[in-house]
Amino acid sequence: MSISKRALVTGVSGQDGSYLAELLLQHGYDVFGLTRPGTTDHPWRIAHLADRITLIPTDLMNDESLKSVIDEVRPQEIYNLAAVTSLGAAATQPELAMALNGGGVERCLNAILSVDRSIRFCQASSAEVFGQSPEVPQRETTPLNPVGPYACAKASGHRAVIRYRTQHGGFAVSGILFNHESPRRGLEFVSRRVTDGVARIALGLSDTLTVGNLDARRDWGFAGDYVRALWLMVQQPRPDDYVIATGETRSVGELVEVACSHVGIDWRQHVRSDPSLVRPAEPTPRVGDASRARAELGWAPTVGFVQLIHMMVDADLDRLRLSPGVRSPSRGEG
């Protein structure tokens, strides 16, 4: 009988971690997830996996704690998804962002060197590392030009992976992930703020949705597709970094229109733009060239933009209908 692979996932209770845990289980892995000691850390995303994965409270800021867990679990693969995930949180806590988003990568790699150099490591990098890039679309060779605490911290982690490969010859890869969404996205992100707001309007719980710059454009994909790319990267014979993106941009205005159309309401009657929600340094057009991932990994997104937004709106409608005080909608839900 073959022995199951073991995978260790940091940030397992986040959006990406929950989808990755599902994927790994489908492939027959024993999944171990690291969670923050003393916190629940949004367990709702992995509640349906509670009896199938092993959760280990671990302080990722503590080198010895991390080494001890890796030594105990002895995984073949480590996926580092733990991070200060929002730009706003990173801006208010820049030291924490650098310590976790950048220093956390260094600690994971140092722990691997101490415990077992054969462990394969995957870092969830971010398109934010490109910052104000003059190159459009962005690809693996695009120079890093981070702007702001979140981007700088992620760039630090990205460079740590490259140094590890160069200096130690270990298997470490970075998935440069462009915006990826799902019904498990946090409400602090614009995509989920829109779908939650539209669902509330459709159910008569609200009358107005406030957003920032309707003209801001992003390359939006489905989180489930993007973690599949991370897994494929780790299965390759040699380590390399890959841009993971759809290659298409959509505006916040288009996102709003698709969401509203799905529930049969006119977005012009309900949506307001608030200048205070506009990013102070809006990046250059952010669109990724994932041709290397397509060619070498055989990866391609399976969920399109419209399907993704419909999925998110439907999930928010279902969630809100279960909440006390929700009355029947007065508008059609398309």
Tell which residue, 81, 91, 73, has the closest CA to residue 35. 81
Q: Which residues, 6 or more positions from 3, have their beta carbon under 8 angstroms from its beta carbon? A: none
What distance in Å separates the CA atoms of residue 10 and residue 295, rounded to the nearest whole number? 28
Conformation bin of residue 248: beta by default, left when phi > 0, alpha when psi is -120 to 50: beta
Tell me how far the alpha carbon of residue 185 is from its chain's centroid. 8
Check if 242 is active-site: no
What distance in Å separates the CA atoms of residue 144 and residue 91, rounded to the nearest whole number? 19
Around Cβ 55, how many Cβ atoms within 10 Å?
Answer: 17
Identify the active-site residue in 29, 150, 226, 242.
150
Check if 128 is active-site: yes
Identify the active-site residue in 126, 156, 174, 191.
126
Concatenated DSSP letters of 63-77:
HHHHHHHHHHH--SE
Check if 126 is active-site: yes
- Sign of the CA dihedral running 99, 102, 108, 113: negative
Q: Which residues, 6 or more positions from 44, have their beta carbon under 8 angstroms from its beta carbon? A: none
Q: Helices 15-26 and 223-234: crossing angle, nearest 10°?
A: 60
Whole-Å CA distances, 240 to 121, 262, 266: 11, 40, 46
Identify the active-site residue in 128, 182, 242, 257.
128
List active site positions: 126, 128, 150
